Structure formats: C-alpha cells, structure tokens
Amino acid sequence: MHKYMTDYLDETCKAIRGRELRQTARGELADHMRERYGDLIQEGLEAEAAALETIKRMGEPELLGQRITKANRSLRKTLIALGSLALFILSFLFTILLSGEPIWYLDAASFVAVGGLSTAYGILCCGRNLSLRNFFKHVKTGALYAGGISTLIGFIAILQIMAVDLSHLGSAVATAIITLIYGLALSAAARIAESRLPAPEDGVVKGLLE
C-alpha cells in the first residue's frame, strides 16, 4: 500500500475510540482504498497521483474517524455503563455512611500534588502548541505518571516509617494508594474533556489534500 494511504489510515485511526473498532475499521477502509487505488491505476494514473486521489475521495481523516466512533456508539451500551458506574459509586458511598467512619479517601494534599504535577506535565508537553485539547491530551498521560510517582514516594515513606513507628503505617499506606486513585480519576476526566473538544486541523494528510 502506498505510504500516503498508510498515513491516511493512521490519521483516521487515531480518532477512532476502541481497539477492536479501530482494527476492524482500518481493515475495512484499507480494503476500500486498495480497490479505488487499483481502479485509478487501471485508468492510467501514476502511483502517487492515484494515492492522492484515493485519499482525497475519502475525505478529512480525523473527521472520518470521529464519525465512525460516533456511529458505533450505542445508547443502550452507554446507559448500561453509566448505570454500572452510578451503582458502584452509590454502593461505595453507602458503605462509608453505614460504617460511620470519616471519609479518609479525601486528602487535599495528595490531590494538589497529583493535580499540580499533571498540570505542569501538560503545559510542558504542549510547548508552543498550547491549546485546550492538547493540554488535556497530555494531562491524560501526566496524571497517570503523577499518580504512580506519588504512590512510589508514599511507599518509600512507608518503608522509613516501618523502621521507627508502626502505629501510623495504615494511614501512610492509605495515603500512598489514594494518590494512585487520584491519578487514574484525573486521567479519565482529562480523556473525557479531550474527546469533547473539537479536533485540531493538522496532520500529515491534510497537507497532502491542499
């Protein structure tokens, strides 16, 4: 397959959510493009011109990827997922309320540490391409790193504590794990924010289409 067409498929697939959908959509689009390319070659076009014409006829790759993702969303599946999440959160809160214990999973210092590290990571990675979508795209990854690093720092502190005083071991372990939860939650929130923002008009293939 011509490199322009492979690049086109890469750009399109970046905008498709879900590994299985990405694989099947890629296979289907590749099959289509191969046939169109073959027909154009038979009509007498040179390889490069045929590849350019093929990708031109397919349209804007990122937009196509987003539309494919949207077309595969099922209201029923979304409602089931949301319902399961709501059930999980409600049962968690219910357990906390019934136990009568203070809500230990809220730790401001941990949240600020993870949030601060993720934000710094997001801004530094954006560099000159600072936009809201780019920012959330990098925060999505940064939050995982921040949560992981903070948890490791927490466990190092635990090992130090263990040598001296075991009475605060429980809360130290809890604090270390909380930073991981914050990292995961922030990453998920950044992913949702990124998906809601309009896609930028960039990419290898758009340059070829102009």
Partner 1 sequence: MAYDGQLLKGTVSIMVLKLLTENDRYGYQIIRELEKRSESVFLLNEGALYPVLHKLETDEQISSYWEESGGRKRKYYHITPKGTELFESKRQEWADFAGMVSKILKEFRRGQLCTST
Tell me whether residue 5 or residue 144 sits nearer to partner 1 (CB atom): 5
Q: Which residues bind partner 1 (CB under 8 A)?
A: 12, 24-25, 27-29, 31-32, 35-36, 57-59, 61, 64, 67-68, 70-74
CB of 23 to partner 1, least distance (A): 11
Tell me whether residue 20 or residue 101 sits nearer to partner 1 (CB atom): 20
CB of 140 to partner 1, least distance (A): 25
* Rounded Cα gap, residues 119 and 117, in angstroms: 6
CB of 72 to partner 1, least distance (A): 5
Tell me whether residue 41 or residue 161 sits nearer to partner 1 (CB atom): 41
Task: Please report which residue ranges of 15-74 form alpha helices under DSSP H.
Answer: 19-42, 47-58, 61-71
Tell me whether residue 75 or residue 164 sits nearer to partner 1 (CB atom): 75
- How far apart, in Å, are the Cα atoms of 10 and each of 15, 118, 122, 125, 128? 9, 27, 24, 22, 24
Other residues' Cβ atoms within 10 Å of the Cβ of residue 98: 8
The answer to whether 18 touches 72, Cβ cutoff 8 Å, is yes
Q: CA 57 from chain center: how many Å?
A: 29
Other residues' Cβ atoms within 10 Å of the Cβ of residue 151: 21
Tell me whether residue 74 or residue 99 sits nearer to partner 1 (CB atom): 74
CB of 16 to partner 1, least distance (A): 11
CB of 20 to partner 1, least distance (A): 13
Q: Tokens 């934000």, residue?
A: 119
